[in-house]
Amino acid sequence: MSNNDIPASGAAGGNNGAGHRRERDGRAANTHLSNSLNTGALPPMTTGRSYTGGFDFEEMIISLRELFTHDRQIASQSDNRRCGICYLYFIANDLHYREEEGFYVCLNCERALGKQHLPMVRRQQK
C-alpha cells in the first residue's frame, strides 16, 4: 500500500501531504478553463484597441489634457486663485471665499457642497 492510496487526513496525517498534492494538481490541470469562472481573476489583457463599450478612454485623456492646459494658462496669470476643492485655478472673481472653512470654492464645487461644511487642515489666504 502506498501513501497515495491513503485518504488525505490533513497535515497531521501520515501521507506526507499526498492528498493535498493531488488536489493542487487537479486545480492546476483546470487552468485551461476560463480564469473568471474558476478564480474570479480578470481575463488576460490584449494589446489591441478592440474595446466596444460606451466609454471612450482616449477621449477622456484628451479632455483632461485640455483641462490641465487651460488650468496652467489661468494659473500663470496674476491674481488668480485655486479652488480649495477641485484645485483648479480660476479668475478671482469667479470664486467665493468660505469664511468659516477658510478656502475659495468655484461655482461647480459650491453647488456640489451645498450647505455642507468641509473643514480644512490649512486655511487659504484671502
- Burial class of residue 106 (count of CB atoms within 10 Å of its CB; 0-12, 13-18, 19+): buried
pLDDT band with cut points at 50, 70 and 90 for residue 32: very low
Instruction: Convert the pLDDT of each residue in 2-31 to its tens digit.
Output: 555 555 544 455 555 555 555 555 555 544
CA pair distance 99, 51, nearest whole angstrom: 47
Q: Which residue has the higher pLDDT, 46 or 125?
A: 125
> pTM for this one?
0.51
DSSP H or E segment with residue 62:
helix 57-75
Which grid cell sits at 34? 476560463
pLDDT confidence of residue 80: 92
